[in-house]
Amino acid sequence: MSQNKQIKYLVEAAIFAALAMVLSFIPDFASWFTPSFGAIPLVLFSLRRGLKYGLLAGLIWGLLHFVLGKVYYLSMSQVLIEYIIAFIAMGLAGLFSVQVKDAIEQNNSKKAISFALLGAIFAVTVRYIFHFIAGVIFWASYAPKGMSAVWYSFTVNGTAGLLTLIFVVIAIFILMQTQKQFFAPKD
């Protein structure tokens, strides 16, 4: 890859990570059940540029939480799992970027949508599995009296993950219908 292209992709990664971070400033109107709106630009970008740049954008998004003081800190390992590993995992949607791109070039909208959705489901699921695990280990004391840590974490993170996925899926449908070249850029 030419150096110019590489720089362009890096700048795009930074821009989409910043966009994700802006959306992270939407207040948690439903406490920890609140969906992660920043997942929208991050998954879209990962599908556009693939795994490597997607993971990088996820890492930048995670790191921006530290810079901007948006980290909920309980312990070192909790923060590592929830703000580094979980956010990097969002880039996993990029695993399917080649299939999405090929499908678009073949004018196969169904296939393009299917792989984009697969990427979104995979990335959001892996991310929220990390939050679920962290929830069981670190957030158990926040569970309502009489509720098990596992069930508490599952309901909280399951709901947030599902809501997040719904918004990402809507965004994928809209962009596929209005601007599918976003997923198959010429350069």
Q: Footprint of ligand 218 on this chain (CB under 6 A)?
A: 32, 36, 72, 82, 131, 134-135, 139, 152-153, 156-157, 160
The answer to whether the beta carbons of residues 12 and 45 sit under 8 Å apart is yes
Is the Cα dihedral 62, 77, 69, 162 positive or negative?
positive
Q: Closer to ligand 218 at the Cβ: 32 or 182?
A: 32
Question: What whole-number distance in Å separates Cα of residue 157 and Cα of residue 125?
Answer: 10
- Tell me the closest approach of the beta carbon of residue 84 to ligand 218, in angstroms: 11
Q: What is the distance of C-alpha 106 from the center of its chain?
A: 27
**Which residue's CB atom is positioned nearest to ligand 218?**
135
- Tell me the closest approach of the beta carbon of residue 63 to ligand 218, in angstroms: 13
Question: What whole-number distance in Å separates Cα of residue 177 and Cα of residue 184?
Answer: 13
Question: What whole-number distance in Å separates Cα of residue 182 and Cα of residue 16?
Answer: 13
H-helix segments, the chain = 3-23, 39-49, 51-67, 76-79, 86-89, 97-105, 109-138, 149-178
Q: Closer to ligand 218 at the Cβ: 51 or 129?
A: 129
